[in-house]
């Protein structure tokens, strides 16, 4: 019996908090495994500032902001390099604010790692070329697509499994939202990562077509014209989980079983205009955990509503009588691949 696909989650995902200095510095990740990240998402915890997202496909110095619709831009003093077990940041306060030694920056780090390229005309997989970085073990790929017209297309994602979540953003359009596919809102709807909107129905997002183990579909939405970046996730037992729950609007709210101890939980209501939230194991407040908001530039919020448990997470706040989708990555599996229970922290 397979209890988990991944024994050491830190080989593929790590949360890191660190103190900004105002001077360029290398940051070493501190998980069990050395990990060179391919996607790094930064947020200053103590001041209002943009979220800053970087990936190895676009290049270390090219930033996108999850709370904004702006196109990507070169910022030489934010992320300077992806390193063998961490990254180097420059002097920009977004990622290296000097706050008298305070641990005031959080980064969420994912590894893909294997170069990916698909020539659609040669492989007959997809209808438009795609390139990027992929880890089939972790169920994560970063895919760059150049789509030059308003025709619907299919895109190879490299996962070899059906994606449960896809986050997409135009790199070249200066006013296009972040568009999110989640399996539990289906192929006819999307969420906007940079907005607190409820799920939105449009065939132009995903062409009303569910992803397959080889491709995902893009509709005719203007967001997809030009160059776009996509972060694609397939669920891996004991490491990642993507699902939905209904809040009962009480302090003794629902428990969500994941089969692992979470390291990071992202939530969004599909039925009300709640902000997106990120809670993780490294920032103060566990248990319950402090919040950051992907769609706004606010500093860290101590309005806590999640307990991180050995085999899932428990909602402690009311959250209203709303339906939520969740995205969770592991700190460690509940049971290793050999059937050994993991000791609780």
Same domain flag for 227 and 134: yes
pTM of the complete model: 0.96
Query: CB-hemisphere CA count at 13 Å for 211?
Result: 28
2 located within any domain: no
Inform me whether the pLDDT recorded for 251 exceeds 90. Answer: no
**202 and 258 fall within a common domain:** no
Residue 3 lies in a domain: no
Q: Does 59 map to a domain?
A: yes
- pLDDT higher than threshold 70 for residue 239: yes
Please tell me whether residues 180 and 128 are part of one structural domain.
yes
Please give the share of the chain, as a percent, with pLDDT higher than 70.
95
- Predicted local distance difference test score (pLDDT) of residue 6: 94
What is the model's pLDDT at position 28? 98
User: What is the per-residue pLDDT across 165-204, written as a single tens digit (0 to 9) for each?
Assistant: 999 999 997 899 999 999 999 999 999 999 999 999 999 9
Tell me which of 93, 110, 127 is where a domain ends.
Answer: 110
Average pLDDT for residues 124-143, to the nearest whole number?
98
- pLDDT attached to residue 123: 98
Same domain, 255 and 162: no
128 within domain boundaries: yes
pLDDT for 4 beyond 70: yes
Position 345 scores a pLDDT of: 47
Query: Which tens digit of pLDDT belongs to each residue from 325-340?
Result: 999 999 988 777 766 6
pLDDT at 43 over 50: yes
In a domain, 172, yes or no: yes
pLDDT value, residue 1: 47
- Please tell me whether residues 72 and 143 are part of one structural domain: no
CA atoms within 13 A on the CB side of 310: 8
Checking if the pLDDT of 315 tops 80, the result is yes
Quick check: is 345 in a domain?
no
Q: Residue 121 pLDDT > 80, yes or no? A: yes
Q: Tally the C-alpha atoms within 13 A of residue 168's C-alpha that lie toward its C-beta.
A: 32
Please report the pLDDT score of residue 338 as a whole number: 67
pLDDT of 69-104, one tens digit each? Answer: 999 999 999 999 999 999 999 999 999 999 878 999
Same domain membership, residue 186 and residue 164 = yes
165 and 180 in a common domain:
yes
Please indicate, yes or no, whether residues 221 and 167 belong to a single structural domain of this protein. Answer: yes
Q: Which of 186, 208, 233 is the last residue of a domain?
A: 233
Is the pLDDT confidence value at 118 over 70? Answer: yes
pLDDT tens-digit series, residues 287-305: 666 899 999 999 998 877 8
Residues 134 and 226 in one domain: yes
**Within a domain: 50:** yes
**pLDDT for position 340:** 67
Q: Is residue 329 part of a domain?
A: yes
59/93 same-domain check: yes
Query: Residue 161 sits in which domain range?
Result: 114-233
- 118 and 227, same structural domain? yes
Which among 91, 110, 129 is the end of a domain? 110
Does an H or E element contain 204, and which?
A: helix 203-206
Mean pLDDT, rounded, for 133-145 = 98
- DSSP 8-state secondary structure symbol assigned to residue 341: B
Mean pLDDT, the chain, whole residue set: 93
In the chain, how many domains are there?
3
Residues whose CB is less than 8 angstroms from the CB of residue 334 and which lie 6 or more positions away in sequence, other chains included: 3, 4, 238, 259, 260, 261, 310, 311, 341, 342
Read off the pLDDT of each residue in 25-36 and give the average, rounded to a whole number.
Answer: 97
Strands 240-246 and 255-257: unpaired
Could you tell me if 142 and 190 lie in one domain?
yes
């Amino acid at each position: 019996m397979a209890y988990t696909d991944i024994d050491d989650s830190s080989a593929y995902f790590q949360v890191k908090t660190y103190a900004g200095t105002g001077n360029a510095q290398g940051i070493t990740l501190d998980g069990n495994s050395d990990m060179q990240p391919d996607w790094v998402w930064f947020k200053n915890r103590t001041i209002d500032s943009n979220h800053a997202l970087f990936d190895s496909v676009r290049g270390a110095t090219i930033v996108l902001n999850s709370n904004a619709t702006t196109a990507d831009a070169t910022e030489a003093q934010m992320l300077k390099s992806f390193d063998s077990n961490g990254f180097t940041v420059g002097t920009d306060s977004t990622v290296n604010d000097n706050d008298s030694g305070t641990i005031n920056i959080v980064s969420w780090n994912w590894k893909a790692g294997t170069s990916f390229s698909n020539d659609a005309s040669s492989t007959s997989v997809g209808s438009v070329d795609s390139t990027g970085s992929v880890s089939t073990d972790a169920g994560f790929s970063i895919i760059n697509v150049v789509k030059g017209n308003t025709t619907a297309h299919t895109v190879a994602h490299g996962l070899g499994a059906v994606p449960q979540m896809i986050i997409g953003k135009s790199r070249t359009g200066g006013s296009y939202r972040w568009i999110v596919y989640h399996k539990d809102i289906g192929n006819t709807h999307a969420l906007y990562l940079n907005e607190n909107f409820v799920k939105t129905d449009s065939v132009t997002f995903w062409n009303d077509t569910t992803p397959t183990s080889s491709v995902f579909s893009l509709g005719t939405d203007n967001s997809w014209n030009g160059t776009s970046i996509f972060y694609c996730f397939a669920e891996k037992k004991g490491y990642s989980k993507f699902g939905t729950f209904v809040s009962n609007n009480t302090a003794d709210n629902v428990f969500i079983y994941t089969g692992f101890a979470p390291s990071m939980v992202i939530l969004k209501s599909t039925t009300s205009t709640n902000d997106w939230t990120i809670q993780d194991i490294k920032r103060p407040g566990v248990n319950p955990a402090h919040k950051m908001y992907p769609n706004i530039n606010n500093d860290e919020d101590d309005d806590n509503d999640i307990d991180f448990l050995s085999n899932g997470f428990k909602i402690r706040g009311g959250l209203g009588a709303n339906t939520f989708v969740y995205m969770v990555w592991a700190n460690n599996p509940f049971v290793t691949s050999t059937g050994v229970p993991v000791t609780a922290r």
